[in-house]
């Protein structure tokens, strides 16, 4: 099955591709969508899939025979067996009625594949009033310099040994933000450097891993990072310091841009907005 670009393009209110997530607007093509269909047959990662860096096999795949592709709407269902299993239906189209169609399809496919969760993912444009969910933001490294912050931020391995040893309890405390998983990847040597800030010889904030990889059209992209500051260390500007250190690293290592997903009105969202990132739209996920 091939997507008709003259049908699909007007429906893409935000640059979100099933199984891949946000992509740069320049990489939002029919070919990128078709790549996800081909990957569903093999179970492999696409060369530019951000999750490829973690190894293993791709868990989420498009249910290609159940795709609905019409002139005014497109529904792309995906399946993951992780946990108790989830079917997501990515609903592309302008009318609000598309959500009901997507929910019906998600519930039907969840039952057919014997999984517990059914979800609808609806991309929404940047002009959306009172948005919910996550905001897609773009950092363009060609727009201006990204100077290093004044406060000290170093890769975890560059801190003195006594400070490095505080990363494990920090990661465990911030497991809900993905830092425990990140720590396992660091221990296995499977990821790039992680930048950390310390107070009184104790790591209290980190962002990473820092890696640059090519996107679907060959442009160097700073990959998404895990990012956390201990609750008791917040309110001192450490988040902004870590963020600016990461942007300095990305620009220094040749990245053209970075895409971020932030919870609308959350701390990271407010930080990115204050730092002048461009909003590309939103992603709103609901139960079917």
Mean pLDDT computed over 256-284: 94
- Residue at 216 is within a domain: yes
The answer on pLDDT for 105 being more than 80 is: yes
Mean pLDDT computed over 105-111: 98
Beta strands 202-208 and 226-229, pairing class = antiparallel
- Residue at 279 is within a domain: no
| Bond into 209 cis (ω within 30) | yes
Cβ atoms of residues 94 and 13 within 8 Å:
yes
Residue 94: per-residue pLDDT: 86
Out of 89, 115, 133, a domain closes at 133
The answer on pLDDT for 73 being more than 70 is: yes
Which residue, chain included where needed, has tokens 């104790």? Answer: 202
Cβ neighbours around 261 below 10 Å, total: 18
The Cα 52–Cα 58 span in angstroms is 8
Verify that 147 and 128 share a domain, yes or no: no
Verify that 182 and 224 share a domain, yes or no: yes
Residue 56: per-residue pLDDT: 81
Verify that 118 and 47 share a domain, yes or no: yes
Beta strands 212-214 and 220-222, pairing class = antiparallel
- pLDDT for 143-182, tens place per residue? 999 999 988 999 999 999 999 999 999 999 999 999 999 9
- The parent domain of residue 207 ranges over 143-255
- Residue at 283 is within a domain: no
Verify that 46 and 120 share a domain, yes or no: yes
Residue 96: per-residue pLDDT: 84
The answer on pLDDT for 1 being more than 70 is: no
The answer on pLDDT for 42 being more than 80 is: yes
Verify that 112 and 191 share a domain, yes or no: no
Verify that 166 and 245 share a domain, yes or no: yes
- Residue at 30 is within a domain: yes
- Residue at 200 is within a domain: yes
Which stretches does DSSP call E strand in the chain? 16-17, 21-22, 61-62, 68-69, 73-80, 86-93, 117-124, 134-140, 154-155, 195-199, 202-208, 212-214, 220-222, 226-229, 257-263, 278-287
Verify that 12 and 125 share a domain, yes or no: yes
The Cα 89–Cα 100 span in angstroms is 11
Q: What is each CA distance from 149 to 52, 136, 160, 248, in whole angstroms? A: 31, 24, 20, 8
Cβ atoms of residues 205 and 223 within 8 Å:
no
The answer on pLDDT for 225 being more than 80 is: yes
pLDDT classification of 194: cutoffs 50, 70, 90? very high
Verify that 91 and 166 share a domain, yes or no: no
Q: Considering its fold, how many domains does the chain have in total?
A: 2
Residue 95: per-residue pLDDT: 84
- Residue at 91 is within a domain: yes
Verify that 39 and 123 share a domain, yes or no: yes
Verify that 68 and 127 share a domain, yes or no: yes
Cβ atoms of residues 230 and 268 within 8 Å:
no
Tell me the average pLDDT of the chain: 95
CATH number of domain containing 178:
3.40.630.30
Q: Single out the residue of 197, 198, 226 nearest to residue 210, CA to CA.
A: 226
């Amino acid at each position: 099955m091939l997507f008709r670009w003259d049908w699909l393009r007007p429906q893409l209110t935000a640059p979100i591709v099933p199984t891949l997530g946000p992509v740069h607007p320049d990489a939002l093509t029919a070919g990128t969508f078709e790549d996800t269909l081909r990957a569903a047959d093999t179970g492999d990662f696409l060369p530019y899939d951000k999750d490829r860096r973690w190894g293993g096999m791709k868990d989420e795949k498009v249910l290609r025979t159940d795709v609905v592709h019409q002139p005014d709407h497109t529904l792309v269902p995906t399946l993951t067996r992780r946990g108790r299993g989830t079917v997501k239906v990515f609903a592309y189209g302008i009318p609000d009625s598309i959500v009901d169609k997507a929910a019906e399809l998600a519930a039907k496919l969840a039952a057919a594949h014997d999984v517990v969760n059914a979800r609808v993912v609806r991309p929404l444009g940047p002009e959306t009033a009172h948005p919910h969910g996550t905001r897609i933001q773009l950092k363009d490294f060609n727009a201006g310099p990204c100077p290093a912050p004044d406060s000290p931020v170093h890769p975890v391995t560059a801190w003195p040994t006594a400070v490095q040893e505080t990363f494990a309890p920090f990661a465990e405390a911030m497991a809900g933000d993905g830092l425990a998983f990140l720590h396992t990847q660091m221990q296995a040597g499977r990821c790039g450097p992680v930048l950390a800030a310390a107070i009184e010889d104790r790591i209290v904030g980190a962002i990473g891993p820092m890696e640059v990889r090519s996107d679907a059209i060959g442009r160097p992209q700073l990959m998404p990072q895990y990012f956390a500051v201990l609750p008791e260390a917040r309110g001192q500007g450490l988040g902004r310091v870590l963020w600016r250190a990461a942007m300095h690293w990305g620009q220094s290592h040749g990245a053209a841009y970075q895409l971020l997903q932030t919870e609308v009105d959350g701390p990271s969202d407010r930080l990115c907005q204050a730092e002048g990132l461009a909003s590309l739209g939103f992603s709103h996920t609901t139960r079917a």
